[in-house]
């Protein structure tokens, strides 16, 4: 005999179980084992299975209310029981089915799902309820979550082994006994791969990564879910930097999962970059971890494209070490958790501060070494300059002394030469004048005779002419004689001026030499290594003879540049028998 299935509600299951009913997991229904009387299960039996006597005991009220049409019609329970039997016969085994989760609820360990199928435009094609009984859930869900990192939540897509069941009280549902994690992973990865390939084909996949990292963090925009645990960890560390005015953090809150999450984040990103873009060093997107399907809401093309095009480095700390979102892949730098983001910022700031301190120490050290080197160079150059100056002065002094001596000698020579030249010129002028006077004396009588003869000869014809020409001739002679005297005087004056100038220059140079000599003094002479000898009375001894005449018993003093010493005179006899002091 076959099993007799019962229509038992969840609340009545304990009653039928006590009466001896058994549970058929394949059919998802309670049944009466073969050979057991059905009388005790009358209220749960389908109408077609009621025994004849059970039908006969139907209340008179029900029979009285039944008309002729009702006798021909099937009751709703009979219809639905037939449907349940047809479903059970058609689906004795589960069928692998793809569906999207719309809602999840848990009651007494049982998991109740709302499943749907949508087309490419988001229109719902089919809907059904699904159930994972507590015992089954304990077996399949841990393995599914471990394999995928995802949790059953709205929006996740599943491939499940589902057996359709129909119950008159609850309608059609799917009993789920297995979940294929590879389908869920494949679906999430396919979504990321499609976005990744599109960004790559557009040539912007690594655009934000290739931006130079911030030199320092002074102004940062932080986008996170409000009251998220990860945000609290981040803000507690960031507040220290903010309090010390190291870095200023501007917080914006947004929905991070569910429909519209990506659009909400994108809106805040656009507004924040537009308002603070010129001052921002980085944009940070963080949340406090979550299942893979919770993070899947961040796998959005428009959001990822904005991050790629953003000219400010974007840092992510989504809080999921196992997997990454497209947002992580296109960001300038990815951190596993929000705490690591702020730790990375602190580390960067510390590195910059340390680099600045090291640079300051290096500059200070270089400056100190440079100053020391410059000081040594200055000291060396100063020493060289002083030495060269002293040498130059000494050389100049020697040259001056030599030139002064030469000038004195030249002056004396020029003076002697000038005197000799003057005497010679005077004698020569005298001889010339004498010769000219003698020649004039000799020529004048002859000329006078000639003139007299000519005058006598022409006296008659040219008395008047002679009388006129005689004064002119006399004037010319006088003029020439006057000019000769002036030339002699001029030459004499020139010679005397040269002699006087040479004498004056020689006297000036001699006076300068005397002043130089007088300025030397005994102290400078002693400083050059000489000594001065004086007797007991303070008289200067300038020769050995003077020292010897002072007497052998008399003390003498030797004066040096730094002091005096006492000495005694001893007389020695040379080879010629003369005494030497």
**Which one has a higher pLDDT value, 136 or 52?**
136
Angle between helices 301-309 and 261-276 (to 10 degrees): 20
Please give the pLDDT value at position 49.
Answer: 54
361 pLDDT higher than 90:
no
Report pLDDT for 329: 86
* Domains annotated on the chain, with CATH: 1-90 (no CATH), 91-179 (2.40.50.140), 211-336 (3.40.50.2300), 532-580 (no CATH)
At 54 the pLDDT is 38
Q: Does the pLDDT value for residue 561 go beyond 50?
A: yes
Query: For the purposes of burial, counting CB atoms within 10 Å of the CB of 90, is it exposed (0-12), middle (13-18) or buried (19 or more)?
Result: exposed
Backbone angles phi, psi at 259, to 5 degrees: -60, 135
Q: Per-residue pLDDT for 579 more than 60?
A: no
Reply yes or no on whether the pLDDT at 48 is more than 60: no
Q: Which whole number is the average pLDDT over 278-287?
A: 87
**Predicted confidence (pLDDT) at residue 484 exceeds the cutoff of 80:** no
Asked if 436 and 480 touch (Cβ cutoff 8 Å), the reply is no
Over residues 447-475, mean pLDDT: 72
In this model, does residue 501 exceed pLDDT 90? no
Range with top average pLDDT, 101-115, 353-367, 566-580: 101-115
Non-local CB neighbours of 122 within 8 Å, separated by 6+ positions: none
Stretch 481-490: mean pLDDT: 80
Quick one: pLDDT band at residue 111, thresholds 50, 70, 90? very high
According to the model, what pLDDT value does residue 290 have? 67
Mean pLDDT for the chain?
79
Coil vs helix vs strand at 279? coil
CA–CA dist 286, 248 (Å, integer)? 17
User: How far apart are the C-alpha atoms of 567 and 558, rounded to whole Å?
Assistant: 7
Among 355, 333, 360, 364, which Cα is nearest to 216's?
A: 355
The predicted model gives 28-56 an average pLDDT of 67
CA distance 288 to 224: 9
Q: What is the pLDDT of residue 515?
A: 66
Q: Give pLDDT tens digits for 172-196.
A: 899 999 998 887 777 777 788 888 8
Taking the CA of residue 21 as centre, how many other CA atoms within 13 Å lie in the half-sphere pointing to its CB?
26
Of residues 418 and 140, more confidently modeled: 140
Residue ranges in 277-337 assigned as alpha helix (H): 292-295, 301-309, 326-330
**pLDDT score at 293:** 65
Mean pLDDT score, 150-163: 85
CA separation for the pair 112, 542 (Å, rounded): 138
Average pLDDT over residues 58-80: 56
327, 304 contact by CB (below 8 A)? yes
pLDDT of residue 174: 92
Model confidence at 67, in pLDDT bands (50, 70, 90)? very low
- What's the average model confidence in pLDDT over 123-144? 90
pLDDT, residue 462, reads 58
Mean pLDDT, range 512-533, rounded to an integer: 70
Least confident among 268-277, 343-352, 459-468: 459-468
**β-pair type (4-5, 314-317):** unpaired
What is the pLDDT at residue 60? 38
Computed from CA positions of residues 537, 541, 544, 545, in that sequence, does the dihedral angle turn out positive or negative?
Answer: negative
What's this model's pTM, rounded to 2 decimal places? 0.43
- pLDDT, position 315: 92
**Position 132 confidence tier, pLDDT thresholds 50, 70, 90:** very high
Decide if 34 contacts 1 (C-beta within 8 A): yes
Is 471 a residue whose pLDDT tops 90? Answer: no
CB 264 within 8 A of CB 156: no
DSSP code string of 462-478: HHHHHHHHHHHHHHHHH
pLDDT at 51 over 70: no
User: Is 474 or 200 the better-scoring residue by pLDDT?
Assistant: 200
pLDDT digits (tens, 9 = 90+) for 211-256: 998 888 889 999 988 877 678 778 888 888 888 888 889 898 888 8
Which contiguous run of DSSP H or E holds residue 555? strand 555-560
Confidence at 276, pLDDT banded by 50, 70, 90: confident
CA distance 458 to 454: 6
State mean pLDDT over 398-421: 81
């Amino acid at each position: 005999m076959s099993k007799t299935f019962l229509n038992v509600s969840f609340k009545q299951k304990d009653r039928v179980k006590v009466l001896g009913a058994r549970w058929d997991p394949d059919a998802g229904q309670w049944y009466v084992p073969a050979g057991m009387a059905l009388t005790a299960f009358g209220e749960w039996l389908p109408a077609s299975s009621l025994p004849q006597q059970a039908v006969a005991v139907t209340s008179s009220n029900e029979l009285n209310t039944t008309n002729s049409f009702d006798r021909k019609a099937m009751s709703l329970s009979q219809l639905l029981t037939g449907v349940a039997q047809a479903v059970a016969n058609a689906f004795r085994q589960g069928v692998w089915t793809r569906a999207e989760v719309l809602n999840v609820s848990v009651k007494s360990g049982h998991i109740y799902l709302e499943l749907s199928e949508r087309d490419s435009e988001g229109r719902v094609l089919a809907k059904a309820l699904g159930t994972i009984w507590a015992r089954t859930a304990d077996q399949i869900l841990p393995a599914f979550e471990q394999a995928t990192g995802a949790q059953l939540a709205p929006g996740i897509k599943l491939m499940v082994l589902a057996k359709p069941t129909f119950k008159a009280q609850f309608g059609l549902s799917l009993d789920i006994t297995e979940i294929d994690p590879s389908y869920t992973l494949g679906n999430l990865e396919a979504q990321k791969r499609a976005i990744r390939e599109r960004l790559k084909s557009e040539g912007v996949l690594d655009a934000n990564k290739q931006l130079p990292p911030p030199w320092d963090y002074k102004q940062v925009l932080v986008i996170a879910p409000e009251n998220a645990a990860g945000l609290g960890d981040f803000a507690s560390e960031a507040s220290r930097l903010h309090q010390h005015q190291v870095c200023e953090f501007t917080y914006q809150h947004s929905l991070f999962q569910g429909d519209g999450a990506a659009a909400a984040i994108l809106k805040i990103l656009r507004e924040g970059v537009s308002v603070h873009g010129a001052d921002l060093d980085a944009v940070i997107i963080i949340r406090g971890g979550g299942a893979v399907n919770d993070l899947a809401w961040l796998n959005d093309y428009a959001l990822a494209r904005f991050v790629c095009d953003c000219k400010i480095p974007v840092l992510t700390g989504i809080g999921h070490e196992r997997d990454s979102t497209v947002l992580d892949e296109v960001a300038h730098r990815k951190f596993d958790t929000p705490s690591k983001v702020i730790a990375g910022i602190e580390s960067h700031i510390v590195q910059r501060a340390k680099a600045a301190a090291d640079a300051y120490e290096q500059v200070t050290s270089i400056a100190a070494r440079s100053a020391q080197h410059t000081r040594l160079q200055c000291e060396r150059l100063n020493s060289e300059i002083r030495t060269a100056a002293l040498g130059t002065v000494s050389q100049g002094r020697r040259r001056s002394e030599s030139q002064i001596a030469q000038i004195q000698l030249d002056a004396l020579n020029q003076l002697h030469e000038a005197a000799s030249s003057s005497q010679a010129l005077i004698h020569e002028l005298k001889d010339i004048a004498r010769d000219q006077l003698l020649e004039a004396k000799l020529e004048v009588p002859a000329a006078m005779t000639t003139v007299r003869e000519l005058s006598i000869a022409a006296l008659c014809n040219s008395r008047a002419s002679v009388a006129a020409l005689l004064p002119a001739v006399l004037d010319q002679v006088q003029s020439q004689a006057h000019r000769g005297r002036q030339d002699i005087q001029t030459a004499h004056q020139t010679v005397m001026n040269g002699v006087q100038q040479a004498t004056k220059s020689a006297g000036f140079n001699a006076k300068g030499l005397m002043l130089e000599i007088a300025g030397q003094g005994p102290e400078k002479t002693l400083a050059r290594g000489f000594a001065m000898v004086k007797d007991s009375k303070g008289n200067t001894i300038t020769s050995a003879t003077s020292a010897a005449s002072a007497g052998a018993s008399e003390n003498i003093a030797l004066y040096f540049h730094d002091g005096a010493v006492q000495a005694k005179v001893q007389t020695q006899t040379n080879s010629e028998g003369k005494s030497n002091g």
